[in-house]
Amino acid sequence: MQLSFSSLKQLTVPIVAAALIACQPASKANLGNSQETEFNTAYLEQMGFVVESHQAAPMGGLIEVITNQGLVYTNIDGSQLISGRIYDITAAEPVNLSDLSLNAMRQRDVTTWADSTIEYAAPDVKHVVYVFTDPSCGYCRQLHERLEDYQALGISVRYLAWPRTGLTGSAAKLLEQAWCADDQRQALTAIKQDQALPAANCEAPIAAHYALGHKFGVRGTPAFVLPSGQLVPGLLPPQQLLAELER
């Protein structure tokens, strides 16, 4: 999403200084043409982040870090943390560079989970979207009731599990039952219609999907991940979704 200059002026970026600790595992930070500097992951790890990758940020003097909790920025030695977005303001409208990095991460990561989704494929596939879903969510049920309308437009839907009440709630147990069923598509439809299913008896990927959603920035369901990697929260009717996909 692009913002006007007036709205951009209202943005604030909270800065948190991480506490120092004794043990400091380090790796080389990729700073492009500048001199390599030791990038210390220990401060982030103490705060509960799992660092997956890091590189020079678009803004000089910062490191862009992809973690299990999404995108953050640190200074070069990893001792200070910025949670926010970086914008290129050289054009007529600001460009959210952070979103571009997040889209690339989602685009890459979501495809690695394709085999663990429950897919409702279109007869003539033109687009494939991933949707984080919860059987207790009314908007998720509305989306599911219109699956044939999405499919008629050439849109295949691949569902990922995202129980809004967490992994110990009733929605997580229902999702586990659907993913463990012999006919997953029929089972997912059943739990969204409040039909009973047998108890789950498999290692379902519910926890992994839930963690992936948090990493992507999911805060509710349904949440679409488009082929571009863009995360779109909320219910998108079929024609509106098609317009987004063809923009």
Tell me which residues are annotated as active site. 134, 137, 140, 164
- Rounded to whole angstroms, the Cα distance separating 50 from 53 reads 9
Two tokens, residue 182:
């012999």
224: closest CA among 160, 164, 163? 160
Burial (Cβ within 10 Å: 0-12, 13-18, ≥19) of residue 100: middle
- Rounded to whole angstroms, the Cα distance separating 209 from 116 reads 9
Q: Do 39 and 53 touch, CB atoms closer than 8 A?
A: no
Q: Beta 118-120 vs 95-96: how paired, if at all?
A: unpaired
- Rounded to whole angstroms, the Cα distance separating 72 from 144 reads 34
Instruction: Quote the distance between the C-alpha of residue 133 and its chain's center.
Output: 13
Q: Do 228 and 244 touch, CB atoms closer than 8 A?
A: no
231 forms bridges with which residues in the sheet? 225
In sign, the C-alpha dihedral spanning 51, 52, 58, 61 is positive
Angle at 170 between CA 132 and CA 210, to 5 degrees: 30
222: closest CA among 208, 207, 237? 237
